[in-house]
Amino acid sequence: MKKKLRAFIFEELIFVAEPEKFSDEDDLLEAGLDSMGIMRLIMFIEDNYSITLPDTEIEPDNVQTFKALEQWILRHKNA
């Protein structure tokens, strides 16, 4: 899951010179993920993982890092 997310984010949403050095704890928002990017990311996640992420949960804590994204997805995938 993480590999697919990383590929989408670094190919479509933000530019990072060395994405392989971007850790699961690094801040995606500081790296350039903006509100339009977050919406595209959510649509990507919902389409690829057949889940619905509630609008009420779209907050920095859930999209700030790869680790946070993965946990958010898993909470809804396992629900």
pLDDT tens sequence across 25-74: 999 999 999 999 999 999 999 999 999 999 999 999 999 999 999 999 99
- Predicted confidence band at 12 (pLDDT cuts at 50, 70, 90)? very high
Q: Give the pLDDT of residue 1.
A: 83
pTM above 0.85, yes or no: yes
Is 57 in contact with 31 (CB distance < 8 Å)? no
- DSSP code per residue over the chain: -HHHHHHHIIIII---S-GGG--TTS-TTTTT--HHHHHHHHHHHHHHHT----GGG-SHHHHSSHHHHHHHHHHHH--
| Tokens, residue 31 | 């790296």
Residue 78 has pLDDT above 80, yes or no: no
Q: Label residue 9 exposed, middle or buried (CB < 10 Å: 0-12, 13-18, 19+).
A: buried
